[in-house]
Structures are given as structure tokens and as C-alpha cells.
Amino acid sequence: MRTLAVCRRELAATFESPIAYVTIALFVITLDGLFFFLGYPIGNLPLPSLWLGEQASLVVLFTWLPLLLALLVPALTMGAWAEERSRGTEELLLTYPVRTGEVVIGKFLAAWTLVALLITLAVVPVAISVAGLGALDWATVWVGLGGAYMLAAGYVAIALLLSACTSEQLVAFLVGAIVLGLLWLLRMLVGVLPASLASAVDYACPSSHFLGSAARGVFDLRDVVYFGSLVGFGLYLNTVVVERRRWR
Amino acid sequence: MTRGEERFNALLSAVLLLGILVLVNRIASRHLVVRHDFSEDQLYAVSEATLRTLGRLEDRLQVKAYFTGDIQSGQIALAKARLEGLLAEFAALSGGRLHVDTVDPNTSSEALSEAQELGLFAFPAHSVRGIQRIRQDVYLGLVLRYRGREEVLPFVSPNSFEIDLSSRIYSILRETKSVVGWFGADPAPGTHEAQYGTFTRLRGLLSQQHLVETVEYLASGAPVPERVDVLLVVRPKELHPRAAFAIDQFVQRGGRLVVFVDQAEMGRSGEARISKATGLEELLELWGALPGPHHVWDTASFGKLPMTRNLMQYGLEYPLFVRMRADSFDATLPPAANLQDGVFCWAQPIKHAEPLAGGTRVILAQSSPDSYYVDLTETVLVDADMEDMVKSVTASLYARGEGQRYALAVVLSGRFPSPFEDGAPAPWDPLADSDKPLETTDETVLSWAADSQVVVFGDADWVRDGYLRPPNERLVSGVVDWLTLDEDLVAMRTRVPRDRRIRDFLQEERIRVGASDSEVLDTTGEIEREMKLEEAAARAARRRQWTCMLAPILGTLALVFGFGIARTLLGRRAAEREA
């Protein structure tokens, strides 16, 4: 209950600020614009835009998600801890009768809900529009959305941890975007890495777990284990970092 | 507890948790194979046909994987890891009957000599270490052994793993392979005809699943051997009646027949020549599958002809390359189910005919409704003017009126009449006077004797080496597998994504405004009117495209900002009430 109370407080605070609305608008316009106009020109197998490819499929939309989320998630979570610290409200928050873990999970749930809502708002209306143009495979869309939520959970856990490590929002954003961007980039570097590293790096890369299965309509329990581990470890470290400040 | 101890405890527990999670993920990645493909196309799930094939294993199937162990290239190491995962998945699905044993030819000289004897080949893989570019010979081959039989896959790729492995398992499960008889032209290298390609790839493709035997003496009238299950007659030319008789009697005995008729010979400059009769006209006409003398010109669905202009290569939209789409095939026929693509080159339309008594006649493949027939002997297509020629021929065809679909391949099933009921033609005598009427013999002639199937294609170029692309491969292998009664093999091959083409707004708008490309425009007024209609259609199509793009974006933004405004107003009202 206390976790949910923290979550509600965080969500309410997010929607107080116009930044959330602007971020949602920018994300929706960027993702949908890329899908309709540009396609996905990165990597060995570039994908054409909807009008050029002429196929009722959201594969381009899903392929852009890991990169765009790597920029969006730090933007939404940068203030989660950093702002509390810079304003000095962190001490106050930690004096409440809640455990640190509950605060961490509450903040995580709030950020995850927001990102999931954003993804839904960016994907579902486009899916409805594309379904009007051709035979869209809805099962792939739903599984892809589920995978995108898991990917977002992993990203949010990492970004929150980085936000907890700093007191400057801008630093939290930059470090978060660089770390998540590097994780996205790793997938493209696998081909040039030594074989001994390639498998491990590919497994460690969140976008591999998303694009390799859920984005194609495939559910794989190994991906659930991976994202569960990522979130669990991220939140645990987040708790440890905040606890350490409590001890000081 | 001191601060230092607390730090140490926190660090230790984090490291322990990380270790546990790494271990859990390592175990899960190897043993937790819970995977389900929810997509409609089911491209990432093991097919029903593969499961049936694995279910037919009664004994131990030994799969020996000749995989290079220490692969330097990251990309290929990943491919190898995927292959190992897929092999483990197959082993699990086989109920313990498929056993995998991996050896490394790069480290074991015994494995290397075995691999070389089996015909496995190493391919060069390049990788970079530091500033050095490393070349490594990599083996990724499989050898299957089952009840003394052996199948070799010299190289496997994760992308085609299921079809490659399951079709080999299917093949090894059979006591004997089906025999495909081959009769027909395979132009010798260096000849004029050879420039358009031989049929080597087709033979190689069929050899993967069947025993392909050349039926050597058929031209002189020798009967088709009993062991032949399916006879392929490729590009027959002026066959002696005795050869036609041998083919006919093969079908009468229940043998299945595939004929690739092709009378067009294209010259070096693109001019066409029509070769003489095939010798099978009487037979095919009687059965209701005679290709006409003309060729199909498809103005709506065509392939591209590679051309060169000013040293630049480009693809000319060429209506004599008839492009097949999903609606070109009869999906009720197993080899055509799920096919979405294919190109016939200089194809002859098969004349309409009624099915034979008690039999069926199904059109396997046909051109688009905007097709016409052309006489290639009149239509001189010369390289320099090719584009203009295509335009002018198309315009002249539009003047004929509406186009229509033409059958390019038909499947006949049932019993067949023999055109030789009055007497079998006498054996071929090279010294006989050609003007002398053909003598007949009193040997027994079978007619309406046994159920069979005959597939006639109005083109042979589409299976030549140069044109045998994957869609064409799927069609021709599917037909032969189907005729050899290997329906599971057909099912494995025809797993391709469904065509999910989006609506063509421009075409819809052109129809709506009345712009038609089937009209010949004579006067300036007509041309101007048509141009205005085209512009109006293009504008309307663009408007609809923008509506499709903006509707989801603006709808979402309206929803989000509407929520924001409502929330602010409600918040203010609540604050006022409190005040």
C-alpha cells in the first residue's frame, strides 16, 4: 500500500509539470514520423517506411523503440532522485515511515507506468491506422507491446539507479542516455567483437531480447528471466545507494 | 556496525546477487526453452509438418555436428550458438530419438578428414583482432545417420535451419528415394541457347530430395523406366511420335508428368524466334493443356529485365516477364498454398479446355487480369529501343480493349485418353524416309488406364539457372514433391510470410476519378483531360495518406493535452473549494 502511495505521489507530481506532456508529444511525433516517413535505415538490414515498404506491419516502429526509449526514459526519470536531492526533499521522504525499498519500488512503478502509457499511446493509434490499410497481424502487435513494456522496465530500473547516483538532473539524463545508448549500440558491435565476448555481450544487450523475439510476435520465457533480473538488480542497487545516504 | 562494515556488506550482497542472477540467466538460456510464436505467419515456430516428421522417428537418429569450436568472428559465433540452441530444440521435440554429437574439425585431425570425406566445406570467416584482420576456416555442417542411411548438410544457417534439417530427416526416413526422370534440353556450354542459362540448378535442387535420372533413350521412343515416379519433360522440341507415345504410356501406367513447354528463343538483341513444334501438341491438346503459340504480355504485374545504358545497369519493367502474386496461384493446390511471388519469362498461355471426363483441370498459375497475348515473331524487341518498344506495344494492346487473365500452368488429374488408340507409332528409324507416312504397330496401347496427374507449364525459362530465384524454386520443388506424394515436404517449403500489402490510394483514386490507363489518347484535349485526372487522383491519394498519418498523431496529442487541461481545471476547482 505504501509503495502504491509513493507511486501515486510520483505520478501526480509528473503530471503537474508540463514537461511530461511535452515529452509525450515529442515521443509520439518522433516515433510515428520515423515509422511513416523514414523507415529504419540503420544496420545491415535497413527497413523501408510504411509507404515505401507497402506492408501492413509495425516492425519499423518496434525497431526504433530501443533507441528512442534510451533517450526518453532518462528524460523522464532524471528527476526521480536527483531532483529530490537538489531540492533537499530526499531526507524528508526518507523520514516517512516507509522503507527505502518501498520508495524505490514506488518510484519505479510510477516511471514504468508512465513509459508504458507513452508506448501504448504511440503504438496503438498507429496500429489502428495501419490495420485500416491492410491485414495487420494484431497478435504480433500485442506481443510486441508486452515486450516493449519489459524493455521499458529494464531501462527504467537502470535510469533510476543512475538518477540516484547524482544530484544533478542534467547529469542524470546525460549519464542515463549514454549508458542506455551504449547498451543499444552493443547489439550493432557484436559482429566485430571477439567470439568469446560476442555471445555474452549479445545476451547482456536489452534490445537483443526485445527485437529477437517479442518484436516478431514471439514470447520467450528467457527474456522474462533476463528483464526480471535486470529490474531486480537495478532496484536492489538503487535501494543500496539510497540506503547508504541514509546511513551518512 | 561501522560504516565500513556496512559498505562491505552492501558490496558483498550486491556481488552475490549479481552472481546468482548471472547463474540463473545462464541456466535459463540453456535449459528454459519455453517459447511460443503468437504471430499469424508462424515463421518462428516449428511447423506441424516438422513435428510429424520428428514423430515418425522410430529409431535413434544420430546427428553429428561438425562445428568449429573456437570461432573468431562474433557474428558467426552467434550463428553457431543459435544453431546449437535449435539442435537442442529439435532433440527435445524428437522425444529423445535425435542425438547430437559435436566434433571440431579445426582441432581434431580425425574429424577434419571425416568432414573432408563427407564433402563438408569450410568457409572463410573474417574478423578483426586488434589491428590484425584474421581469416579462419569455419565448419558448420551436419551429418545425419539413421538405420544405415546417411544424409549430409555441408553447411547450415540458422535462417533456413528448420527446412534444411527437417527435409533431410524426412529424406532419411524413407527406405528409398523417389525417382525423378529428366528428359529435355540442357544446352551445352558455349552454345547460343546456353547464354540464357542451363537447368543445372534445378537438377541440383531436385537432387537434394530425389534421385534425378536422365531418361536417355526417350527421344528414340524407348519406354520410360518403371522406377521413375515423376517425369520432367523440359523444353521438348520436335519429338518423334514414338517419344510422345512413350510419355503417354508412362502417364497411362500412373506415372506423373511435368512438362515445361517453351517455344520462344530470344536472340542476342532481344529479337524473338519461335522454335518448331514440341511434338507433344496432339497429346496436350487431347488432355486439355496445350500452350498457345503466342506469349503473355502482362501490363499490370511484371518483372524487370536487366539492361545496360551508358555503362549503367538498370531494370526495365518488362511485361513479358509475368510476375506472379498471391492471387495468381490457386491456393487450394498444396504446392501453390502460401506462394506469394514468382516470375515466368516469355510464357505461353495455355488454351482453355474443359476437364476430361471424370477428371479435374485446375489452373495452377495465371497472369493478372490486365494481360494480353502478343505474337513474338511480329514483335521485334531490340535493345536500343526496348523502352519505347515496350511502351508502344503496350499502347497498341490497350487499343484492343480490356485485358484478361491467361493460364500459365495447369494441373490435370484423373485418367487420360491416349491419342494412339488406333495404333502405336512405329519405333524411330533414323534411316527412314521422312516424307513416308508413319507406320503403326499392333502393340497394346493403354488408354484411360490409371489415375495420374499432369502439370503443364507454358514456360521453361523460369526454371533456368538465371531465373531460378527462391520463389520459383519453391514452386517447382513444391510441384515435384507434391507429385511424389511428399506433401509434408511441400508444407515445409511453403512457409512464407503472408502478403500484407497496404491499400494503393493512388490506384483507388485513379479509378474514382475515372482515369484509365487502358485508353489510347489521340487528341491533345484527351491527353490534357487525362493529365488533369491523374493530378487530381495524385492529390487525393496524398490527402488520404496524410490523413492516415496525422489521425493517430493528432488524436493522441488531443487525448493527452485534453487530459492535462481537464486535470488542471479540476485541480483548480478543488483548490477553490478548499479555499
Q: Do B14 and A236 touch (CB under 8 A)?
A: yes
CB atoms within 10 A of CB A150: 21
User: Is the Cβ of A193 closer than 8 Å to some Cβ of chain B?
Assistant: yes
pLDDT for res B440: 78
Indicate the SS3 state at residue A3.
helix
Helix (H) or strand (E) holding B309: strand B302-309
Strand pairing report for B132-138 and B140-146: unpaired
Asked if the C-beta of A54 comes within 8 angstroms of chain B's C-beta atoms, the answer is yes
A135/B39 touch (CB, cutoff 8 Å), yes or no = no
Please say whether the structural domain B176-427+443-493 has been given the CATH code 1.25.40. no
The chain A residue lying nearest B541, using CA atoms, is A51
Chain A residue numbers touching B547 (CB-CB < 8 A):
none
Structural domain boundaries enclosing A138: 2-247
Size of interface A-B (CB pairs under 8 A): 166
Residue from B75, B327, B508, B563 to probe the interface with A (highest A Cβ count within 10 Å) = B75
Residues A68 and A27: beta-carbon distance below 8 Å: yes
Number of domains observed in the structure of chain A:
1
Among partner residues B21, B41, B74, which is closest to A194 by beta-carbon distance? B74
DSSP A35: I
Asked if the C-beta of A247 comes within 8 angstroms of chain B's C-beta atoms, the answer is: yes
Q: Chain A within 8 Å of B436 (Cβ-Cβ)?
A: no
Instruction: Tell me the three cell numbers of residue A192.
Output: 566485430
C-alpha to C-alpha distance for B375 and B263, rounded to whole angstroms? 12
- The domain B48-161 is placed in CATH, from the list 3.20.20.140, 3.40.30.10, 3.40.50.300, 3.40.350.10, at 3.40.30.10
Q: Which residue of A has its CA nearest to B35?
A: A220
Give the lowest-confidence range in A69-73, A146-150, B516-520.
B516-520
CB-CB neighbors (< 8 A) of B126 in chain A: none
Cell numbers standing for residue B324? 506472379
Angle (CA) B105 B109 B111, round 5° = 45
Nearest C-alpha in A relative to B548: A129
Contact A16, B572 (CB under 8 A): no
Per-residue pLDDT at B311: 64
Q: Do the Cβ atoms of B40 and A140 come within 8 Å?
A: yes
CA dist B133 → A194, B73, B137 (Å)? 12, 11, 14
Q: Does B561 touch chain A (CB under 8 A)?
A: yes
Interface of A with B in 110-169 (CB under 8 A): 121-122, 125-126, 128-130, 132-137, 139-140, 142-143
Q: What distance in Å separates the CA atoms of residue B171 and residue B177, rounded to the nearest whole number?
A: 7
Closest CA to B449 of B425, B427, B421: B421
Give the closest-approach CA distance of A222 to chain B in angstroms: 6
Residues 67 through 86 of chain A touching chain B, CB cutoff 8 Å: none
Which of A31, A126, A230, A235 should be substituted to probe chain B, the one whose Cβ sees the most B Cβ atoms within 10 Å?
A126
In this predicted structure, what is the pLDDT of residue B271? 56
Which residue in chain B is spatially nearest to A134 when comparing CA positions? B502
Does the pLDDT of residue A44 top 60, yes or no? yes
What residues of chain A lie within 8 A of the CB of B549, using their CB? Answer: 32, 36, 129
Domain ranges of chain B: 48-161, 176-427+443-493, 504-579
Task: Write out B210-252 in H/E/C secondary structure.
Answer: CEEEECHHHHHCCCCCCCCCEEEEECCCCCCHHHHHHHHHHHH
Residue B549 contacts A where some CB pair is shorter than 8 Å: yes
Residues 344-383 of chain B with CB under 8 A from chain A are none
Interatomic CA distance for residues A122 and A115, integer angstroms = 10
**Chain A residue with minimal CA distance to B544?**
A133
Give the single-character DSSP code of B140. E
User: B363 to chain A nearest CA, in Å?
Assistant: 26
- Residue B394 is inside which H or E element, if any? helix B386-398
CA–CA distances in Å: residue A202 to residues A192, B26, B244: 12, 13, 61
Q: What angle do CA B125, B127, B131 make, to 5 degrees?
A: 150
In a mutational test of the A interface, the residue from B80, B553, B569 whose CB has the highest number of chain A CBs within 10 Å is B553
In Å, how far is B557's CA from the nearest CA of chain A? 6
Instruction: Report the pLDDT value the prediction gives residue B275, as an integer from 0 to 100.
Output: 66
Question: What pLDDT shows up at residue B270?
Answer: 53
Tally the C-alpha atoms within 13 A of residue A214's C-alpha that lie toward its C-beta. Answer: 26
How close, in Å, is residue B132 to chain A by CA atoms? 12
Q: Which three cell numbers stand for residue B339?
A: 506462394
* DSSP states along B468-503: --HHHHHHHHHHHHHHTT-HHHHHHHT--PPP-BPP
The pLDDT mean for chain A works out to 87
> Shortest CA distance to B519 belongs to which of B530, B534, B509?
B530
In whole angstroms, how far apart are CA A88 and each of A21, A82, A205? 26, 10, 35
Of A25, A190, A226, the CB nearest to B74: A190
Instruction: State the Cα–Cα distance between residues A148 and A73, nearest whole angstrom.
Output: 12
Residues in A closer than 8 angstroms to B498, CB to CB, are 135
pLDDT truncated to tens, each residue of chain B (579 aa)?
A: 676 777 788 788 888 999 999 999 988 887 777 888 898 887 788 888 888 889 989 999 999 999 998 887 777 887 888 888 889 888 888 888 999 999 999 888 999 999 988 888 888 887 766 667 778 889 999 999 998 888 888 888 887 788 888 888 988 888 788 899 999 866 656 555 666 678 888 998 898 888 999 987 888 888 999 999 999 999 888 888 899 999 999 999 999 999 999 877 665 555 566 666 888 999 999 999 999 888 899 988 888 877 766 666 677 788 889 999 888 998 878 788 778 889 998 899 999 998 898 888 999 999 999 999 888 766 555 555 677 788 888 888 888 888 899 999 999 998 999 999 888 888 877 666 666 667 778 888 999 998 899 999 999 989 988 888 888 988 998 899 888 866 676 666 666 677 788 888 888 888 888 776 554 556 677 777 878 888 888 899 889 989 999 999 999 999 988 988 898 888 888 888 887
Contacts of B327 in chain A (CB under 8 A): none
Task: Check if A41 contacts B (Cβ < 8 Å).
Answer: no
Q: Are B97 and B114 in contact (CB under 8 A)?
A: no
Q: Which residue has the higher pLDDT, A84 or A234?
A: A234
In chain B, the residue whose alpha carbon lies closest to the alpha carbon of A193 is B74
Q: What is the ipTM of this complex?
A: 0.85
Distance CA B569, CA B579 (A): 15
Structure-model confidence comparison of residues B422 and A151, the more confident one: A151
Question: Which candidate from A25, A139, A195 shows the least CB-CB separation from B77?
Answer: A195
Q: What is the pLDDT of residue B71?
A: 82
Residues 206-235 in B contacting A (C-alpha not used; CB under 8 Å): none
**Residue B81, min C-alpha distance to chain A (Å):** 8
Choose the mutation target among B499, B502, B563 for the interface with A, i.e. most A CBs under 10 Å: B502
Q: Identify all chain A residues contacting B129, using CB atoms and an 8 Å cutoff.
A: 194
Q: Which of residues 145-164 of B touch A (CB under 8 A)?
A: none
Write out residues 468-497 of B within 8 Å (CB-CB) of A: none
Chain A residues near residue B132 by CB distance under 8 angstroms: none
pLDDT above 90 for A149: yes
Q: Which of A114, A137, A239 to mutate to test the interface with B (most CBs of B within 10 A)?
A: A137
CA distance A144 to A142: 5
* pLDDT for res B11: 83
Rounded to a whole number, what is the distance in Å from the CA of A133 to chain B's nearest CA? 5
R_g of chain B computed on alpha carbons: 31
Question: C-alpha grid cell for residue B327?
Answer: 492471387
Q: Is B111 helix (H, G, I), strand (E, B) or coil?
A: helix
A window 200-229, beta carbon within 8 A of B: 201-203, 213, 216-222, 225-226, 229
Per-residue model confidence (pLDDT) at position B349: 94
- Contact list, B39 vs chain A (CB under 8 Å): 137, 139-140, 143, 216-218
pLDDT at A74: 92
- Does B70 lie at the interface with A, CB-CB under 8 angstroms? yes
Shortest Cα distance, chain A CAs vs residue B499, angstroms: 8
- Cα–Cα distance between A211 and A224 in angstroms, integer? 14
Provide the pLDDT for residue B402: 82
